Amino acid sequence: MGTKSTMRRSACMVATVASVSAALLGNASSAIATSHDVAEVAFEVSKVDVGAGMWLRHMVIRPSSPKGAVLFLHGFPETMFAWREIATTLGREFEVHAFDWPGFGESSRPPVERFAYAPRDYATILTRYIDKTGIGGSRLVIYATDIGALPALLAAVDRPDIARMIVVGDFAPFDRPQYMQERLQALKDPASAETVRKTFNASRDEILKNAFTRGLPEGQRYALDARYQADMAHGWQNGHLSSADAFAHYYAHFTRDQHALEAQLPKLKTPVRLVWGEQDIYINKEMGVEFSHRTAAPLRLLPATGHYPHLQRPDETVDEVRAAFLP
C-alpha cells in the first residue's frame, strides 16, 4: 500500500512539474524538468512569493529523509537550471533549492525605482526566500557563485545563523578592479558603464555561446546542455528589462556594497569556504586569495578550471556540499 501510494505521489509530482515547467518556460525548454531521470529524483518548478509584489521561479527537490538543505545561487548570465545536474545528484540525500535572481530567468523584474538590483537588494531577497521556505539555520548550506556570492555574505553579516556554512567562489568581494576582466572594470566605472551595458545587450547570443569557456584551452572546454542554453536565451529578455540590464544595475551599486562588506568583515561569523577556478579570466584567483587571508576561510583552487566550476566540474561541487555537512 505504501509503495503504491509513493509511486502515485511521484507520478503526480512529475506531471505537476511538466505542466508548471511548460507554462513557465515555453515549449523550447520545458523538457528541462521532465526528462527520464526526473522520475528517480523528482523536482518541483513553481513560483514563490517573496513580498513587495515580487516572486521568484524556483526548483525544489524534497527526498523523504533529507540529511539537510542546500540552496544554490547562480551568477551571470545564468538561470537556476545551472544547478540541474548537481541538484538531481544531491537530491537523493538533501533537500535542494535553487531560484532565478530578479532580472534573470522567469523571476520578477520590477522597475529600478522599486528594486535596485544591487547586491544588498539581492541579500534581502535571499533572506526572504530562506524565511519563506523555512530552510535556514544549522541544516542549510548555501553554495553561491559570481553575483550570488556577495549577497550571501552580506546576508550572513546581518544574520550569522542563516546557514551552517556558505561556499562561495569566482566573485568580487572587495573593490579591486585590477583583479577583474577589463569589461567588468569598465562596468564598474560610471563613465563607461552605459556603453558596456549596451554592448552586453547587443551580444546576447555571443555571450551565451562563449562566456562559459572563454579563456580555456581547447582541451578544457565543455559543452552546455542545450536545454539550459535555451532557458537562458528564453529568460534573457523578459518584459522591459534584460538580464544584461539587471547585471549593469547590480554593478551600479557594486562598489558601494563591496565597501560595506569589507568594513563589516569582523561581523562575518558564519563559516565560509572558497572554491575558485584557477584559470578564471573574469575574476582573478588573487581576489580569492585575499579574501581567504583576510577571513581565514579555506580556499580550494581547482586547476585547469575557469569561472564556472559548477558547470565544468560538477562532481567537485557535489563533493564540496557533502563535505560541508560533515561534523
What CATH number corresponds to the domain at position 237?
3.40.50.1820
pLDDT for the residue numbered 113 = 95
| Short-list 94, 147, 96, CA closest to 121 | 147
* DSSP class of 248: H
Domain that holds residue 43: 2-324
Q: What is the pTM of this model?
A: 0.89
pLDDT digits (tens, 9 = 90+) for 144-182: 999 999 999 999 999 999 999 999 999 999 999 999 999
pLDDT at 23 over 90: no
Query: How many domains does the chain fold into?
Result: 1
Bridge partners of residue 60, in order along the sequence: 44, 97
Instruction: Provide mean pLDDT across the span 65-83.
Output: 98
pLDDT for the residue numbered 40 = 59
pLDDT for the residue numbered 43 = 86
The three cell numbers of residue 209 are 555561446
The span from the CA of 125 to the CA of 51, in Å, is 9
Q: Is 85 left (phi over 0), alpha (psi -120 to 50) or beta?
A: alpha
